[in-house]
Structures are given as structure tokens and as C-alpha cells.
Structure 1
Amino acid sequence: MSIGAKVKKFRETRGISQDELALRLDVAQSTISSIESDKNIPSSLLLNKIAKELDVDINELLNEGIQVNISNNKFSDLSSAGTINQYNPVFNMQSPEIIENILKNQQQITKLIESQNKFIETLLKKDKDL
């Protein structure tokens, strides 16, 4: 079942109209309509808001059989079907692992910049000596 079909199913189950859901999400009714008819794929941010408004876990809206694993900054598809998820995976940008990786990357970038600056200083010094 597609994300759009699931959104429609959960919305109708809760007795919420497209207009009402759109109003709660601060989007146009046509946005909800295009999502439900699979003409448009919601961003991860909008999908998260939809899940909250419909009081469902966001994973219930995502494709069945698709699990995405993130480790060492690499993605791998863990689905039993081996198909590639056509929707963007949703990440919790406040997870400790992601924050830790961002900080490590920033430290590495800082070291590279410092190394580059020392190299440039060395080149400039050699140029003055000539």
C-alpha cells in the first residue's frame, strides 16, 4: 500500500476531511489530495507532521518491508524483498549517533584546514626566501 493510500486510510478512519487535515498542517487541501492520489510524495518533515496529526507512528505510513540502516555514514537496504525504497528515509536529526558523527566530521574538517594553512604558510615562507 502506498504512502498516499495509507494517509487516506488513517485520515478517513479518524473522520477527518482533507480540508481539516490541510488546515491542521498549514498546507493547501490540494497538497493532501496530491499526496493521497500518489501524485506527490511528502517531504520527511511533512510526513512526520501528518503522522502526528493522524496519531500514527511514522513507520506505519512508510512502505512495507523496507527498513533502512544507517551506519558509518552509509545506507543499506535491509528489506527482505531487496527493493530500493522509492521514498526518502526519515532521519531523527537529534539522534546521538548522528550528532556524534557530525561532530567527528567537523573535527576532521578543522584538522584539514589547519594542515592546509600550515602548508600554505610553508609555501609562502619558501617563496620569500627565494
Structure 2
Amino acid sequence: MNIGERIKKLREARGMTQKEVALSLKMDQSQYSKIEKGKTDPTTTTLDKIAKAIGVEIADFFISNDPLEDVNSIDKSTLQKLQILEQLDEDEKQSIFKIIDGLISKKKLKDTLSNALSGA
């Protein structure tokens, strides 16, 4: 989820409209809408003002309490995936490591066979 989506989700959770937030920011509603739609990136100063307007901490825009938000890790960076992995219990980690080891072994075998066939 991008920053605009997080802002929108937090605003809606507090029952506020875009117009209410934009008015408290002394910002045109269309400009505020662009922030929520991800069409423009807000400055840190603007993020701080938005956070105060909707009654949250600026960190709330970057931290999710939704455990399902991290389920699809395909679009996450390797570091983010490792951080998610660290949240698993030990048995779950071991299962993931066994899968990874199996895939690495499969790749090594495939590469070895490919090299052997291309050299023949």
C-alpha cells in the first residue's frame, strides 16, 4: 500500500472527508485528492500537517496494523521479505528454509545438467 492509500485509509477510519482534511490544511481539495490517489508526493511538512489534521502520528502512514497487508510479499524488497520472515515462529521459518534449500538444490542440478549437455 502506498502513502496515499494509507492516508486515505486512516482518514476514512476517523470518519473524515477529504474536504474536511483539506480545509484544515488550508489546501484545495483537488490537491489533497491527488495526494491520496498517489498522483503527487507530499513533503514531510505536508505529511506532518495531514497527520495532525486526522489525529494520527506521522509514523502511522508507514506502519500498518493490518496483518493481511504483508501477506503478498511478491512486490516487497528482499529486506522487507526478510523482516516479514523474522516475524514467523521457528517452525514456520524452518519450513520456509527447507523450501528455499530445495529450490536452490533444484537450480544447481538444472545448471549442472545444462552445462553437461552443452559440453557434450
Q: TM-score, normalised by structure 2?
A: 0.51
Matched with 1:81 is 80
With a CA cutoff of 8 Å and minimum separation of 6, indicate the structure with the bigger relative contact order: 2
Q: Which runs of 5+ in 1 are unaligned?
A: 65-78, 83-130
Contact 1:51 1:57 in 2 (8 A): yes
Percentage identity across paired residues of the two chains? 41
Matched with 1:59 is 59
Q: CA RMSD in A?
A: 2.0
1:31-110 paired onto structure 2 within 5 Å = 31-62=31-62, 80-81=79-80
TM-fit CA distance, 1:8 = 0.5
TM-fit CA distance, 1:21 = 0.5
TM-fit CA distance, 1:53 = 1.2
| AA matched with 2:16 | I
Which 4+ stretches in 1 moved above 6 angstroms?
none
Q: Which runs of 5+ in 2 are unaligned?
A: 65-77, 82-120
Q: Distance in 2 between matches of 1:52 and 1:80?
A: 30
Q: Distance in 1 between matches of 2:46 and 2:62?
A: 13
TM-fit CA distance, 1:81 = 3.0
Residue by residue over 1:11-49, the C-alpha shift from the partner in whole angstroms, topping out at 9 and shown as x without a partner, is 111111111110000101011110111001111100001
Matched with 1:121 is none
TM-fit CA distance, 1:62 = 2.7
Give 1 or 2: higher strand fraction.
1
Q: Distance in 2 between matches of 1:44 and 1:60?
A: 13
Q: Distance in 1 between matches of 2:37 and 2:18?
A: 12
Residue by residue over 1:76-96, the C-alpha shift from the partner in whole angstroms, topping out at 9 and shown as x without a partner, is xxx9339xxxxxxxxxxxxxx
Contact 1:2 1:63 in 2 (8 A): no
Aligned length: 68
Q: TM-score, normalised by structure 1?
A: 0.48
